[in-house]
Every structure is written in structure tokens, then in C-alpha cells.
Amino acid sequence: MTEKLEVYKCEICGNIVEVLHEGKGQLVCCGQPMKLLEGKTEEQGKEKHLPVVEKTEKGIKVKVGSVPHPMEEKHYIEWIEVVTDTGVMRKFLKAGDKPEAEFETKDRIVQVREYCSIHGLWTAKQ
């Protein structure tokens, strides 16, 4: 799976979509074009956002940040996603959860990314 899975956000209502198959049209929500999110790859500020990948017996464990990311009501990791050479796996999180997820896979990991409710999309290539 080498296609680029783009993520877009509506700057009015907050809808987030991931493009599974690229077409020629423009994504529009609330009457205006959606914003393409570029995954940040370098830490900024005091919170840690970069996905940290650990190999496990059954696959991988992804932790958000070298120091666990806050998981507060208005500031938390909404989802963690793993892109492999054969597909995509995603876990949704909520406030109060640990900022981590385990994924069972033997496939080659291409990319790991996560979305912070305040600081946006973060990515780590493998």
C-alpha cells in the first residue's frame, strides 16, 4: 500500500476526512474547500506528539510522545493510525484513555500517524 492517504479538515465545522482513492475533484465542506493537513514530523512546544513505535510479540505498540501526551477533555489524541504495505489500522481514543494503541500485524509498517485535538496531525515514517 503505497498510495498517499491524505487527511483534510473543514476549518468551519471541524469535519475530518481521509482520502482512500484520489480523484480530480476538490473536497468541499460548509461551502468552502477543505484544508489538506500535512503531518508534522518535529516536536514543537512542551507537549510531545510524535508517535513512538515499539515492536511487540504480535505486532507493534504506538505511544504518543516520548513523554505521554495529555488526555484531557479538550486536549487529547483523537486517533492513532498505522499504514502498512497492505492496509491501514486505526484506533480511536477519548479523554482519559492512555495515549497509545497496540496493533497486531506482521506487515511492513510504512507510516504511523496520530491526530491531536488541538495540535493537529503528526506523523512518523518507518
- Can you give the CATH number for the domain in which 31 is found? 2.20.28.100
Average of pLDDT values for 90-101? 97
| pLDDT number for residue 124 | 87
- Based on the structure, what is the number of domains in the chain? 2
Query: Is residue 33 domain-shared with residue 86, that is, in the same domain?
Result: no
For residue 17, pLDDT over 60 is answered with: yes
| Domain around 3 | 1-37
Confidence of residue 1 (pLDDT cuts 50, 70, 90): very low
- The tens digit of pLDDT for each residue in 45-57 reads 667 899 999 999 9
Query: Is residue 22 domain-shared with residue 81, that is, in the same domain?
Result: no
CATH assignment at residue 54: 2.60.40.730
Taking Cα atoms as reference points, which of 70, 14, 61, 67 lies closest to residue 37? 14
Query: Is residue 82 domain-shared with residue 119, that is, in the same domain?
Result: yes
Higher pLDDT, 43 or 73: 73
| pLDDT number for residue 42 | 85
Q: Could you give the CA distance from residue 113 to residue 123 in angstroms, rounded to a whole number? A: 4
Confidence of residue 2 (pLDDT cuts 50, 70, 90): very low
Taking Cα atoms as reference points, which of 118, 46, 20 lies closest to residue 78? 118
Contacts of 24 (CB under 8 A, 6+ apart): none
Taking Cα atoms as reference points, which of 57, 39, 48 lies closest to residue 100? 48
Determine contact, residues 98/76, Cβ cutoff 8 Å.
Answer: no
Query: Is residue 55 domain-shared with residue 115, that is, in the same domain?
Result: yes
% of the chain at pLDDT higher than 70: 94
Query: Is residue 92 domain-shared with residue 111, that is, in the same domain?
Result: yes
Give whole-number Cα distances, 49 to 57, 71, 117, in Å: 25, 12, 11
| pLDDT number for residue 43 | 77
| pLDDT number for residue 3 | 56
Query: Is residue 43 domain-shared with residue 81, that is, in the same domain?
Result: yes
Query: Is residue 88 domain-shared with residue 117, that is, in the same domain?
Result: yes
